[in-house]
Chain A
Amino acid sequence: MTMISNATSGLMATQVVMNAISNNVANSDTDGYSRQTVTLSSVVSGGVSVSSVDRQTSFYLSQQTWTTTSDVGYYTSYSEYATYLEELMSSDSLDVTTSLTTFYSALEAASSSPDDDSLRTAVLTDAEAVCDAVNSLAGYMDELQGQIDSQIGSTLSTVNDLASQVAALNDKIVALQSSDGDTSSLEDSRDAAITSLSELVDISTVAQDDGSYTISLPQGQTLVSGNKSGSLDYASDTGLTLTYGKQTSRVNEEMSGSLGGLLAFSSEVLEPTQESLNELAATIADEFNALQTTGYDLNSSAGTGLFSYDSADAASTLAIADDFSGDDLAFAGSASAGTGDNTNLLSMLDLQGDQEDTYTALVTKLGLVSSQASSALTTSSSLQSSLQDSLSSISGVNLDEEAANLVSYQNIYSANSKVLTVADELFDTVLNMF
């Protein structure tokens, strides 16, 4: 009878193995799937039994991958916006240096005939173009800030959603594990959720004995523990906050993940650039207006300011003063001087260099920031791929390996069937003896 039971146990065990193989083959291209292996062991009383079905993965490599994924998330959003901003600021129509150069060229041209109406009009038109470039740029930057704010909002809701998914999966895994059920696919789903989460926020994950994962933020604040999850929120006045249970605490915004990248770009790059642009707009207006008021216009009246702006929002509001005409340009140095006097105009020309340099320096700095971010992105991306590679070499399905196993277990299955047939024949032989 032992032969029959041995062969039966062989058939059963082989079926489990082939079932695992079929599952691996079916999921060979499934993202986040960890292949399963079956460990068989011999039974003391004879036969074979399935001692475990294992999900092949490495928690250590997964953790490493998540950390690197956070870096990739950070630099992706940071460099994406930095590239956009530098391209914006250096584009032909928005480059303030170009419009300043044109404006001062028009002034240079007017220096040879300060009483020429068409040259005065050209100066005014080019001053308008400076305002347009500064206004449009400020508008685009406001829009960019809006895009970032809305991306922060959608990132937070995704983070909160993923955190509650992980908590729900924790719950199911703990329950199923305590009843010795197969948690593989649940664990795969949880790892996938954590991978998505790590791209958005900087997290550290600790595996608990009951099978659940505890996820915390950089400063140790708990985001997920067991079947409970917290929720992140952001407002410009309160900053980034985490509400877990009934407690709300402030979260340090300097962290990796695309959320950290967005916040860092906004506070380190966009806001300072907006401020610098506002300062430049105010400087252009103030310096030029100061000279305007020391000079005299075509009608020998004391000059008035060419530019106007609202100091609360200089770049968006920089404009030509109301009713300002070409005649109002105060090129003459004194009230008694005639219309052909350009003494004050010559002083105006001295303003050019510094104003242009300020803007070029702003764009250059942005270019450096952007190129640093994109090379950091390249580095973290390649680290991420090599970690994914290592993880995939453990968890990924190799179809040739599965095919070879399939053939060999098919043979074992046939052999066991044969044993069963032989045992049956032996039994028949014995029976036929009577």
Chain B
Amino acid sequence: MRVSTSQTTAILLKSMQNQYAEYTTIAEQLSTGSSINKPSDNAIGYARVSNLTAQQTQLEQYIENIETASSQLSASETQYSSMTDVMGSIRDLVVQAANGTYDSEDLANIATEISGLMETMVDLCNQTDASGNYLFSGSLSSTAPVVYDEATDTYSYAGDDYQREVSVGDGITVASTDNLSDVFFSGGSSFFDDLNGLVTALSSGDNSTASSMLDTIDSASSSLSSAIASIGARSNQLDTLSSAHSETLLYSEELSNSISEADYAETTLRSEEILTTLKVTQQVLSSVLGLSLFDEL
């Protein structure tokens, strides 16, 4: 074949340009560590990595939500356990008052003690979290749940029976709050009013209602224990979910890395090859350019 002088140069230059272009792509992969630097590099891979990245962000958020919900639950649990302790002390006093060996002065002293413990109990019911929201008033988080009305000398529940569901997984929610409607205010009766009635009676030396109050106390105690058990069950569920999420997150990160990660060994080798070919092409070009019959004339 007949070859023109400019053709030889053009072919060699074109080949050098192609090598430079490929080298640029490889250098980008090596510097970013990723083989997908724009969607067209691998459109399907891009879509998968994009979905995985969104999934990872969501999993991280679920894990954070689980931490928040767990700390809310443990705050509630702490208060409930304290309530159980206080309830135990109240029960001991009511048992003493009921057994009939105490005179009216003793009963009045017991009444004072019970009254003090009742105030502690109300305080525990009206605890707030770090941001000042009430733990046990359902959705009415800015309202104290247990309210004492001096005029009528009655206690009432100002919260509602709402439990906040927190999003902790795809389509999974867990109740992160609890309320007092079932514990102290079930069926229209109020534990605090009953206890307050006993205190008033004991103060005037009357212990006739003490033994029936024991039933009320026992039923409130059992409501407390089941509330604590329920919190325990939810905490366990959150722990299980959290470790499942962490595992999925790890797997998802590995998967997206394996899709987009540049193969360093192969890429480095290829870049060496290109550099070698480039050097050789340059040498060929310079020797071809120096070749001319005119020099021999």
Contacts and interface: CB of A to CB of B under 8 A. Distances in A.
The answer on A and B forming one complex is yes
Given A105-B61, A342-B165, A398 B3 contact: yes
A366 interface: yes
Interface string B120-133: 00000000000101
A364 B177 contact: no
Interface string B131-148: 101000111111100000
A86 B173 CA distance: 37
A210 interface: no
B62 to A, nearest CB: 7
B139 A341 contact: yes
A349 B46 contact: no
Interface stretch (A184-192, A231-239, A271-279, A355-363): A355-363
A65 interface: no
A360 B55 CA distance: 13
Contacts of B284: none
A323 interface: no
Given A113-B131, A340-B141, A374 B294 contact: no
A305 B96 CA distance: 62
A301 interface: no
Contacts, number: 180
A367 B139 contact: no
A391 to B, nearest CB: 9
B38 A86 contact: yes
A113 B60 CA distance: 17
A115 interface: yes
B95 interface: no
A392 interface: yes
Contacts of A90: 38-39, 46
Interface residues of A, number: 66
Interface residues of B, number: 58
A218 interface: no
Contacts of B176: 112
Given A340-B164, A368-B43, A393 B7 contact: yes
B46 A393 contact: no
Interface string A333-357: 0001111111100100100100011
B274 to A, nearest CB: 17
A392 B162 contact: no
A116 B128 CA distance: 13
Contacts of A404: 293
Interface in B47-94: 47, 50-51, 53-54, 57-58, 60-62, 64-65, 68-69, 72
A62 B39 CA distance: 37
B11 A399 contact: no
Contact of A400 (B61, B159, B293): B293
A123 to B, nearest CB: 13
A28 interface: yes
A356 B54 contact: yes
A35 B7 CA distance: 13
A389 B8 CA distance: 9
B266 to A, nearest CB: 20
Given A109-B65, A112-B69, A346-B167, A393 B3 contact: yes
A394 B69 contact: no
A286 interface: no
Interface in A354-403: 356-357, 360-361, 363-371, 374, 385, 388-389, 392-401, 403
B162 A86 contact: no
B212 to A, nearest CB: 35
A370 B296 CA distance: 52
Contacts of B11: 389
A112 B7 contact: no
A338 B142 contact: yes
B6 interface: yes
A116 to B, nearest CB: 6
B101 interface: no
Nearest to A86: B39
B7 A339 contact: no
Nearest to A82: B40
Given A97-B50, A342-B165, A109 B40 contact: no
Given A338-B162, A393-B3, A111 B167 contact: yes
Contacts of A399: 5, 292-294
Given A102-B57, A339-B142, 11 more contacts: A89-B39, A112-B65, A112-B69, A112-B164, A338-B159, A339-B141, A342-B164, A360-B50, A361-B47, A398-B3, A399-B293
